Amino acid sequence: VTIKTSDPVSRAFREHGLRRTPQRLAIARAVAANDRHPTVQDVHTMVRGDFPTMSLATVYNTLRSLVNAGVIADLPFAGGARFDSDPSPHINLVCSDCGSIVDAHEYDPMLTRLTRSVSSRPDFRVDGHRFDFYGRCASCARDTAKPAP
């Protein structure tokens, strides 16, 4: 299989010394191309089209590698982990009803300052972060507003 060597995913693999197997690249690209914060199952489903024999364990292992390399971020939830293709500081708006997770970038400057500040603490060496708000997205709030008139 010929593999493009110049895209962001390939570059990230190079920089982090990850082996560039077709499966791993497909998994990394699937997450990178998806801003819905997919679950492991989601990723497996996305990739299965091109790699029908790929096992769920491989998806788990690869996602773990990518998280350890800092290429993506994982967001553990009670019902299973979600993956965020953007590991830089931003807020996640998490809907408890429909499970949607939307990035809010309006607060990035504030969070960047905050991260810098916490990173300079002598008593803690920062290497990751997570900023979540939980609640109801617009459409779920609407649904709940007038359920049984």
**Residues interacting with its own copies, by CB under 8 A?**
74, 76-78, 81, 91, 93, 95-96, 104, 107, 110, 114-115, 117-118, 121-138, 141
Q: Are 23 and 62 in contact (CB under 8 A)?
A: yes
| Stretch near DNA under the rule CB under 7 A, chosen from 49-57, 85-93, 107-115, 132-140 | 49-57
Q: Tell me the C-alpha distance between 60 and 141, whole Å.
A: 33
DSSP reduced 3-state for 146: coil
Q: Are 41 and 55 in contact (CB under 8 A)?
A: no
Least distance (Å) between residue 71 CB and its own copies: 15
Q: Tell me the C-alpha distance between 121 and 80, whole Å.
A: 31
The binder of DNA chosen from 8, 11, 15, 20 (CB under 7 A): 20
The binder of DNA chosen from 12, 32, 40, 95 (CB under 7 A): 40
CA 89 to chain centre: 12
Least distance (Å) between residue 18 CB and DNA: 5
